[in-house]
Structures are given as structure tokens and as C-alpha cells.
Amino acid sequence: MPSVTPLPSTFKWGFATAAYQIEGAVHEDGRGQSIWDTFCHLEPSRTKGANGDVACDHYHRYEEDFDLLTRYGAKEYRFSIAWSRIIPRGGRDDPVNEAGIAFYNRLIDSLLERGITPWVTLYHWDLPQELHDRYGGWLDVEESQKDFERYARVCYERFGDRVKHWITLNEPWIVSIFGYATGGNAPGRSSTNPQSTEGNTATEPWIVGKALIMSHARAAALYNREFRQSQQGQIGISLNGDYYEPWDAQDERDRAAAERRMQFHIGWFADPIFLAQDYPACMREQLGDRLPGFSPSDFAMLREAELDFYGMNYYTSQYARHRDEPAPETDYIGNVDECQENNQGLPVGEPSGVHWLRSCPDKFRKHLTRVYRLYGKPIYITENGCPCPGEDRMTCEEAVKDTYRLRYFEEHLEAVGVSNAEDKADIRGYFAWSLLDNLEWSDGYGVRFGVTFTNYETLERTPKQSALSLKRIFEERIGADPSRA
């Protein structure tokens, strides 16, 4: 029997989704286009022929999906609002779409009627296309933050009487790097990707990073200044990042490479956002003036944007190996090699159903503890999950027997418990990714991360074993007597 380290009696758990991955209904009720609508319809396809036009049709089936949440025993649910449903053209002087407001009101009310707490992400990658066309979107640091602040204001005003948990941005690293360095995600800009026709990998991701940091700061400062006292809610941000260990544990250069890689992954955003200080020194050293600076007024805004929690999206870990040659201008990871085996040939973890993800619960514990010690904020794990090996080729009857995913959850929750109990990290909640099999962005509809099998032809949902087991797993852990563990 696996170890069971108790979790606090107040520990929260549930499931997470994102609007473009599940909603569909992209042309209904006044919704405007997002950069992902455009990206998914490029020819030749850059998303394996997939798009979010229908997705899981959550727009019409949300009651059915919330029935699943109830069946699974979840009391928390994290979802994102599509900016272009609220303000179709996106800008601060553009009209609000009342039909979009009404849809999210229905969602929120439906959750509350079931006793499920909504956790709302304001931005999960789906920038209104109009803003990208108008001024380059996130490439314009000043314009984008003003438009995001207005969008956030509308959401606080319309939903904040019932929504008490806000997340400003989801994974700004992915937005910056995959959108503007590798070109693998919308809007697909890159100077190193042969499929991309526009972009500059050496400069654009760092500009976009600054725009996202300041957009977050404006939205959080606005909440603190005008809404917190009356609405009594909380606000945070969700940052992704792997944990890195040295390829050669005896080599000081590899130990430095592992730390540098995490600074490029997490410190890039977390240092300004949580510490109101400049980017990590290693980034300044490598990138020089390609990394936009912060003005005194920027730092004042960052200090005003005090957060309640650190949202952590974690899936896997890697080894980092130093490079002897200077970093090329297009490097964005800190001049290291990322490896899934160390110098002894030891794999970092057990393979999953997607090449980049290996199950590394022991390193998850180290990651949690490191982040808490660095930034000192309560942690909510806002995404964690995996696809099972071969799941993309399985029938529904095969896929629902997801013992790999169930073991992944159990082992990662044990890491949470140990980090909390032994390392004294303050970890307060966990959201499994994802409620449904859905559009996995540029990977299309092949890779399945859901605890619910989605038949993409009929849109029928079928619970997997992991979904039906999580309630029991959490009941065994939350508030358990440590002496009985």
C-alpha cells in the first residue's frame, strides 16, 4: 500500500479546464475571434488539423459537465473566461458583450448551486485577435496592459460578487516562449521555426514577458485597490515550471545550470511578481538589454499588486547539463541542455503518454519546497496531471482503466503531503488537469489528459477510474490522523 501522508483539514481539491480547450461555440452569441481561432485554421495546419470550433461543446453541455464534478466529489473548479466573449474586440474602449457575460453568469451560478467554488482564470492564452491586429497584442507593453486592466475590471464588476478566487494569467512562460520564440503556439511568431513567417526569437519573447508581468500587475493592483475590501476575495497567478537537477551531480557547472534553468523558467516571472524586484541576475547577464527593464513606476505597481497565493502548474522534471560554448541569441533556457537521463543513464522518471512528461513525484516535493522557500506565498497546485502511455490509441473501454494516471495522482499527492508536513511548505489546494479530454493546443485531439474520456465524434463523456477514485484518495488524506498514516 502506498504511503499516505495527511493533508490539512482545510485542503481544497478539484479539477481544472481552459475556455478554448473545451467551450466550442466560437461563433455564437457575439464572441470575437482569438489568436487561437486564427492559429488553428492556418494552412498548412500547425495544430494537427484540430481546432476549437466545437471542442467538447462545453458551451452547451456545461450542466452535464458540472454533474460530473458533483459525481466526482469535487468542491472546487478552476476554469478560464474567454476575453473575446466578454469584449469581442478586446480593447478598453470597445463594447462589452452582454451575451458573453450572461454565459459566465450561468456557469458561476450553476457551480454555486451545486456547492462548488469557482476559481476563475482571466487569461488562458486566448488573446482577442483584434488586439493582435490592432497593435501587435502582447508585443506592445503599454497598450496591452491597459486593455487587460479594463477586461479584468469588467470581470470583477460582473462576477466578483460570487467569484472569490481569481487567477490573472495562466503560464506566461508558455505564452512568451511558445508563442513568440518557438512559434509552436498562437500567434506562432518565430525566427527559428520554418513554419513561421514573422517574428524575432531573440527579442520578442522578452518584450511579451514584460507586457504580461505588467498586465498582471495592473489587474492585481486594481483588485486590491477597488474590489478587495467589498468583495473579500483572493487573487494570484499560475506559473508553470519544471524542477531541474544537475546532469552530473558532482559537477558544479551542472549544479549551476540546473539552478539557472529554473531561474529562466520561474524566476523570470516570479521575481518581479512576488518579490517586486528585477529579473534574476543570470538572465540579465545572458540577455543584456534585450530584457526590458522596469521603471520606478513599474516597481510601484508591482508592489501594489500584492498576491494571496502562488498558483503552481507542474507536470514533470528534467536534468540540466551545462554548455561550454556561449549562448546563441535565440537561446531562452539559460544555455543548458535539457535531458531526461543523467550522466549515469538514470531516467528522471517513468515515461507517460507524451514525450516531454515523465512522472517524477520525488522531484515534485523538492519543487514545492523550493518555490515556497523562495517566494513565501501559500501554494495552490492549479494544474497537475498526465496522459497514460498509449492512451491516444486506446478505445474508450481501454482508456477508462487509467491505472497509470491514478498512480501518478497518488504519488504526486504524497509528495504534496510530505512537502507540507516535513518541509513545512504551505500548500493549500490541488486541481487535477483536466476534467475532460480536450483540445491539447498544438497537439490537437491526440494526447488525452482528462479524467473523463471524451468521444470527439459523439461528444459523449465517460468517467475514467481516476476520476471516480480521487474523492476516496483525498478523503484518506485530508484531515487524517498522522499517527494512523
3-state secondary structure 240-268: ECCEEEECCCCCHHHHHHHHHHHHHHHHH
Residue among 130, 143, 204, 383 flagged as catalytic: 383
Return d(Cα 284, Cα 286) in angstroms, integer. 6
Sheet containing 336-339: order of strands:
243-246, 317-322, 336-339
**Has 143 been annotated as catalytic?**
no
Q: What are phi and psi of 164, to 5 degrees?
A: -115, 5
**Has 23 been annotated as catalytic?**
no
Residue in the block written with cell 504551505: 426
Return d(Cα 63, Cα 53) in angstroms, integer. 19
Q: Count CB-CB contacts under 10 A for residue 471.
A: 15
Return d(Cα 187, Cα 250) in angstroms, integer. 41
Grid coordinates representing 148 are 487587460
The residue among 142, 141, 146 whose CA lies nearest residue 176 is: 141
3-state secondary structure 106-160: HHHHHHHHCCCEEEEEEECCCCEHHHHHHHCHHHCHHHHHHHHHHHHHHHHHHHC
The residue among 421, 419, 311, 320 whose CA lies nearest residue 373 is: 419
Residue-by-residue DSSP string for 150-199: HHHHHHHHHHTTT--EEEEEE-HHHHHHHHHTS--STT---SS-TT-SS-
CB 306 within 8 A of CB 325: no
Query: What is the b/e burial string over 1-30, where b = at least 16 CB atoms within 10 angstroms of the residue's CB?
Result: eeebbbbbeebbbbbbbbbbbbbbbbeeeb
Residue among 23, 76, 149, 171 flagged as catalytic: 171
Q: What are phi and psi of 283, to 5 degrees?
A: -70, -45
Report angle CA 367, 474, 119 to the nearest 5 degrees: 70
Contacts of 482 (CB under 8 A, 6+ apart): 5, 6, 421
Report angle CA 380, 385, 389 to the nearest 5 degrees: 170
Return d(Cα 327, Cα 342) in angstroms, integer. 22
Grid coordinates representing 366 are 523538492
Positions annotated as catalytic residues are 171, 383
